[in-house]
Each structure stands twice: as structure tokens, then as C-alpha cells.
Amino acid sequence: MLTDNPDEGDHGMFMPISRKDMDERGIDRLDFVYIIGDAYVDHPSFGAAIISRLLEYNGYTVGIIAQPDVSDPKSVMRLGTPRLAWLVTAGNIDSMVAHYTVAKKKRSEDMYSPGGKAGRRPDRAATVYCKMCRAAAPEVPVLCGGLEVSLRRFAHYDYWKDTVMESVLADSGADILMYGMGEHSVIELADRLRNGEDVHSIRDVRGTCYLCDPRETPFGAVQCPSFAEVSADKEQYAKACRIQYDWQDEVYGKTIIQRQRNKMLVQNPPAVSLTTEELDLVYSLPYERTYHPCYESEGGVPSIKEVQFSITHNRGCFGFCNFCSIALHQGRRVTCRSEESIIEEAKKLTQMKGFKGYIHDVGGPTANFRGPSCEKQLKSGLCKGRKCLAPEPCRNLNVDHREYLDILRKLRTLPGVKKVFVRSGIRYDYLIEDKDDEFMNELIEHHISGQLKVAPEHCSAAVLDKMGKPHIEAYKRFQKRFYEVTKRRHLEQYLVPYLMSSHPGSKLSDAVKLAMFLKENKIHPEQVQDFYPTPGTISTCMFYTGLDPYTLEPVYVAKDPAEKAMQRVLLQYYKPENRRRVIEALIKAGRRDLIGHGEGKLVMPDAQYTREQNLEQRNDRRKTQGGRSAPRNQKGRHGRGNKR
């Protein structure tokens, strides 16, 4: 449990980042030194802010070293050695995703770094930082957490190296890995370390992983194929992936083990989700709600702009898309904050410098989830190997927007609030199942600014099945209702669909089908996401193995860069600069019938295509005439015959 007895003191300041800060607060030695890959932002949308504030609330001192200089091993020592442990995180997002595009090209910006400048943290930052801490003070425990390590806790396919890597715990040298959201885990570990327990003896904390001698492996665990097996055999990798997902449940989840060379990786069952009361406490802590002033001269930290005036009301997502990391990190069980907590935070926003009357979002992983998908999961857990919404909604699904709508109504009547937006993902497939139109009507009238972003991702049933998404009929139903409401209310509102190319299962013919769907529905996507195989997801397993981990059936995977580019440009067929490549894609897909003028065509021919067609027609005529063309003046120059 999270304690409800905070120590006395002024917590309304940033955590110490220098010895001077420590001296001013009378701190001789910190309990924890927190090494983070992002710039230091004290806002509850940043995991490091939540963990540091929660530790402080529970009576611990925490110092922050943001983006230490990896060329200087002593850079992690500027606050001294911690009394209890080093804490390490790569930051809010995976450092490799932060650094590289899906084409493996270096990004020019990093929104989580000062001034948005790239290059302030290393590749695989958590591993590098753990090794720095271990080298600096070998006697001090190293505890790592955050998204990067959470999704790399087992042997995993690494897209950037195009190989299977062992658990980040084995690679980094950390003592304990905390996966998931971490609040319960870190407080229990802190208390036990403070009570004098040796870090190597702490092996029963939920939401953590550790390494041990294989002879010390706990009984009753579910065993994954080993690192050696999943590295050598793709079917074994697929089987391991399914085991890791099947037992990722806080109700029935079991300990999972996987051999890593000469060590055994042990993953304890997931931590129990925070209750509403605990979430309320977490979001009530005295965050500064902005970046540290030390970054002001560099232009601040751009990532704060999206979240500074936003409110998180829930956690978890039972949508469970195969390409998403939430199921393996936050979990599928949805928990939420109380109405009172949300309104209290909104009131704080209205008093903040820079607030102009607009709450930018009231959301979370999925904005319109406000509780568990059904009552059964509270006692029995979420159904193993099944999804609540795909390929069609479960008959036990509880669809209810009333509480969420009531919160939005109250927020928009607060003094100083002009508009409350909903900008994080709306699950249209969930919304369309609500027989009450009130939420749809008020969402459109009050909570979007001309555009509502939704994620059908594709239109091919074969591809959507591999994505774990509902079939396109659900989107069509939602689209119809959306535009009926906007027309009835005389509003100019539009849907902006997120789409993905080259997801496992998507052939060139599927991309053509999606392009035609977009044209028929007059959808011109400005941005298209090429599938990015990030660590730990079911879709990444399919990308690497070419197998569906739940059926072991083969899955088509587009890996050729030329084909991937074709799939991508087909979704933006309407852009003049894409016409040549769209034509090439249609020719390769055997769909020349879609090149031309008029109804039912995808793209008009260009000059090159016309020349090629004319040449082909001439060649065809020659073939039909025995390999040579007809005499030029067979009927005379003017077609009247030759009278000479």
C-alpha cells in the first residue's frame, strides 16, 4: 500500500539536481539518485516525476541527474553515492525510438531533451546508465524501470540490430528490474532496503524481475523457451511471446522464468493496479508541472507543451492492439481517478501561468474508457488470449460513458475554462456500441476542435485480424453516425483516421484495397505510420518470426524497403509527387485496371506510363502480325489505295 502519512516539509520544489540544492535542504546523503534519459520535467505525465514525488511523499530523499554525460563516467556521481540505491530509467519513451525513424535514420529532434535537440542521451540509454552506476559505486544496488526496460525484460527481437537480444537485466548489470507502472514496486523495495534487507535477497516483490542461479529457480513458475532457443528457432520465439502475454494478469498471472545464458530470469506476477484512492493521491502530489528552470536558456523542453494543460483520468487499456506496448506495460485492466480528483486538478490548471482557458485533453491510453470492460475481470482477470473489442465486441462488454460525460460537463463549467478538449485516443469501436447518443452528441458539440482523431488503421479484415483491431464495418458505422450528428448540428467537424502501412499480414494487394477505400470515402491522410517493430509487442513477434504466436500459422511480412515504400505511398495516392510510385505499385500488384481516368480509378496515367502503354501496344500488334508491322502505305497515303 502507498502510505497516507507524508512527512512534514516543503515539497513544492524541484528535486535536488546539484550539491548546492542538497546543502540548501540540509541533505548530506540522498537515499536515491535517479538517473533519467529525459530532461527533468516535474509533471505527472512523466514517469520519473511520479516516482520521485511518491518516494519523497513516503519520506525518502531523491536527487535527479538528467541525461548524464556518458563520455564522463563520473557524471553520475555529482550528487554523491545514494544511501539505498540508484534508480535508472531511459525516460518516457524508448531511447531507440526517440533516436531513429522506422527507416533507421537518425532523427534530428528529441522533444524530451532541452531545446528539442537530439543526441543528449545514448542508444539503449537504460543499459548504458546502469553500467555507469555499477562502475561508479559497485556496492550500491541498481534498480531500473520505465518503458524501455519494461518491454525488454525477456529475450527480445531488436529491430535496430536485427537480432534477438537477451533480457536487458542481464545486459545492463542492474540488480532488479521494475516493469509496469512501478509505484507499488518501488515503495516496497525502498522500504525493504531501508530496513536493511540485501537487494539480492529481495525476490518476491510483484512487478519486478531478477536473475538467479538456475538451481535457485522458484517452483511453480511458467517457463519460456530460453534465450538460446528463441535466438535459434523462430517458432520457439513465438511460443515464448504467447506465454509472456497469457500470464500478464494481476489476478491469475504466474511467475514466468526464462534462461539467459548461465542465469535464470525470474519475472514475478504483475503489480496490483493502483486503486482510485491511490491514483488520486499520486496525482495530488506537489508537482511543479513544468520543466526545471535550468533549461530555460536552451528554450525549455518541448514535450511539456502537449501535456502541461492536460489531465490524465485513467490507466490501462483493454483495447489490446497487437502493435501497442500498453498491454505488456500498463496492463489491460482500466483503473481511474475520482471525479473530485480530476476537478481539483483542473482548478489548479486554471491558476497556472500561461493557462488561456483551454484544457487540452482529459484522457489516457484510451480517453473514453472509464473502468473495466466487464465485471468478471475484477474477480477472474482478463480473458486469456482474447480481446474485448476484436474482431467484434464481447457480449459481456460493459459500455457506459455516463460517468466520463458527467466529468466533462463539470469541467467545462469551471470558472476560467473556455473549452475542454478530448485529444487522446477515442475508441470509436467502443463508442459505437453505446446505445445512448448523449456522449457522441456532446463530444462533437463541445470537445473537439474541428477534427477527431480515430484509429481504424486499415480496411482489410486479414490485416486488422493481425493487428487485433475490429473490422472496418465498425469504423463505417461510426463514420456514418459522426457525420449525421455534425450535419444535424450544422457543425464543420471531420474525422482524421490514423492508418498504418506494412503491418504483418499486409500484402501489396491489401495496401491497394486500403487506397481505394480512402478514395471512396474522400479521406486524404496527411500522415501515414509505417509499422515500427518496437520491442515486446505481439506484432513485432510476427514481424520477426513470420508466425502468429497464437496459432503458429505463417504471416506475410513486407520487409523489402521498395515494397514498404509502395505500401506507404498508396495511402497518399492523391499527392502529385507520389503518382509515379503509385503507378509502379499498381503495376506490381497486377492492378493496371486502377490506372486511368474516370470512376473507379485510383490514379491518372502519367507521361511515362502512356509512353510505355503505347510501346506495349505496338509490340503487341507486331506479335499478332508475325513479328513485323503492316506495310506503311498498304492503302496509299490517303487511305484510297495505291493506283500506281
Q: Residue 620: pLDDT band by 50, 70, 90 thresholds?
A: confident
pLDDT digits (tens, 9 = 90+) for 151-165: 999 999 999 999 999
Read off the C-alpha cell for 495.
474525422
DSSP code at position 34:
E
Specify the pLDDT at position 500: 97
Read off the C-alpha cell for 441.
452528441
Q: Residue 467: pLDDT band by 50, 70, 90 thresholds?
A: very high
Average pLDDT over residues 172-188: 97
Q: Residue 9: pLDDT band by 50, 70, 90 thresholds?
A: very low
Rg (CA), the chain: 28
Specify the pLDDT at position 618: 85
- Contact 456/413 with Cβ under 8 angstroms? no
* More reliable by pLDDT, 613 or 211: 211
- Contact 433/393 with Cβ under 8 angstroms? yes
Specify the pLDDT at position 204: 97
- Contact 492/486 with Cβ under 8 angstroms? yes
Residues near 504 by beta carbon (within 8 Å), at least 6 away in sequence: 466, 531, 539, 542, 543, 546, 555, 556, 557
Give the pTM: 0.93
Read off the C-alpha cell for 388.
474485448
Residues near 555 by beta carbon (within 8 Å), at least 6 away in sequence: 466, 504, 505, 542, 546, 547, 548
pLDDT higher than 70, residue 642: no
Q: How far apart are CA 302 and CA 509, in angstroms?
A: 40
Specify the pLDDT at position 503: 98
pLDDT higher than 60, residue 629: no
Specify the pLDDT at position 11: 39
* Domain residue ranges in the chain: 19-212+261-267, 309-449
pLDDT digits (tens, 9 = 90+) for 227-238: 999 999 999 999
Q: How far apart are CA 150 and CA 327, in angstroms?
A: 11
pLDDT higher than 80, residue 537: yes
Q: Residue 91: pLDDT band by 50, 70, 90 thresholds?
A: very high
Least confident of 96-105, 147-156, 610-619: 610-619
Residues near 423 by beta carbon (within 8 Å), at least 6 away in sequence: 310, 360, 361, 363, 367, 453
Domain 309-449 -> CATH class? alpha beta
pLDDT digits (tens, 9 = 90+) for 250-309: 999 999 999 999 999 999 999 999 999 999 999 999 999 999 999 999 999 999 999 999
**2-6, 222-226, 492-496: which is most confident:** 222-226
Domain 19-212+261-267 -> CATH class? alpha beta
pLDDT digits (tens, 9 = 90+) for 554-599: 999 999 999 999 999 999 999 999 999 999 999 999 999 999 998 9
Q: How far apart are CA 280 and CA 364, in angstroms?
A: 15
Q: What are phi and psi of 361, to 5 degrees?
A: -165, 145
Please state, rounded to an integer, the average pLDDT across all residues of the chain: 94
- Contact 54/282 with Cβ under 8 angstroms? yes
Q: Residue 609: pLDDT band by 50, 70, 90 thresholds?
A: confident
Q: How far apart are CA 241 and CA 257, in angstroms?
A: 12
Q: Residue 362: pLDDT band by 50, 70, 90 thresholds?
A: very high
Specify the pLDDT at position 613: 85
List Cα–Cα distances, 574 to 286, 502, 506, 524, 525, in angstroms: 50, 19, 21, 7, 9
pLDDT higher than 90, residue 449: no
- H-helix segments, 521-625: 538-545, 561-570, 579-588, 607-624
Specify the pLDDT at position 612: 83
Q: Residue 5: pLDDT band by 50, 70, 90 thresholds?
A: very low
Question: In a 3-state reduction of DSSP, which class is residue 405?
Answer: helix
Sign for the CA dihedral angle at 142, 148, 151, 156 comes to negative
Cα 635 from chain centroid (whole Å): 71
Q: How far apart are CA 133 and CA 617, in angstroms?
A: 71
Specify the pLDDT at position 628: 54
pLDDT higher than 80, residue 631: no
pLDDT higher than 90, residue 219: yes
Specify the pLDDT at position 622: 83
Pairing of β 208-212 and β 263-267: antiparallel
List Cα–Cα distances, 516 to 291, 470, 581, 603, in angstroms: 45, 19, 16, 10
Least confident of 1-15, 422-436, 586-600: 1-15
Pairing of β 208-212 and β 176-178: antiparallel
pLDDT higher than 80, residue 640: no
